[in-house]
Chains A and B, each alone.
Chain A
Amino acid sequence: MAGNVLDVTDSTFDQEVLKSAQPVLVDFWAPWCGPCKMLSPTVEAIANDYAGRVRVVKVNTDDSRQAAMNYRIEGIPTLLLFKDGQPVERVVGLTPKDRLAATLDKHLG
């Protein structure tokens, strides 16, 4: 898939998300999840629009079950926005790009 969205796993979550200097938007998804596929183009568009301001990464909940359990992912797609290692925003389910952008803007100041 598109180059701007990095794959993150349980073993790289700490480094790539929690220790990131930039805010990180994490897309929790799985290969069997239809709505996740539908959200992918939106997430990729956000990654392009916010390049340099927000890192956008994705976590496959089948492979990285620890991250999914730690952050109580109970329906996917779920997007979590991390700032300074803390989750500050949770978006569950399909979301139009405009609303997602508005949510990010709120935290970017």
Chain B
Amino acid sequence: MKDINHHLTDALLMAYSAGTLPEAFDVVVATHVSLCDECRARMHEFDAVGGSMMEDVGTAELNDDSFEATMALITSSDWAEEPRPIRSTKGIFPAPLQDYVGDDIDAVNWRKIGGGVQQAILKTTGDATVRLLRIPGGVAVPDHGHRGTELTLVLQGAFRDETDRFGPGDIEVANEDLEHKPVAEDGVDCICLAATDAPLRFNAMIPRLTQGLFRI
């Protein structure tokens, strides 16, 4: 994809490579990297660091039958070949996102959350959550701050907030210092993949009341 201006941070790529991110963040990172050559190259670099760490960690004693048990695993028949993450040719979702949705955008089970905004929460383990958001052109996502980290990846359309414009492939990494009010650009619906590791904190009374209800 061309013209990606907003990338993942080193900290997020390193944690993704180390395998220590919550699943909800893994989904967003894998989806962004699918679109962004720059971050893909950086991810490979962090994987190489991981390989280096493993080389230098020393050795642990294996069980006596470790090798035989491994050969038995290799010859056992109940080992399904994993499908490789390749995107189905049609659609706007990269492969890791298609895996979670089951298919592409037409398969998303949208729920209205007010103001014309729709969301679909994806099923993940752990405390962090990830959702698809569909925001009509010109509409604002309710004003909110964050207790933790929020990742917002644009898949279609664009939004602007106090910091910049975010178009397809761009990812905004927001921490608790940022109080922002993203507004979708006029035109096609803005579709985002957003993950948080703490509930969002809305500044207006009404969204706060409905927060428990909609899990936004």
Indicate whether A and B interact: no
Q: What is the interface of chain A, defined by CB distance below 8 A to chain B?
A: none
Q: What is the interface of chain B, defined by CB distance below 8 A to chain A?
A: none
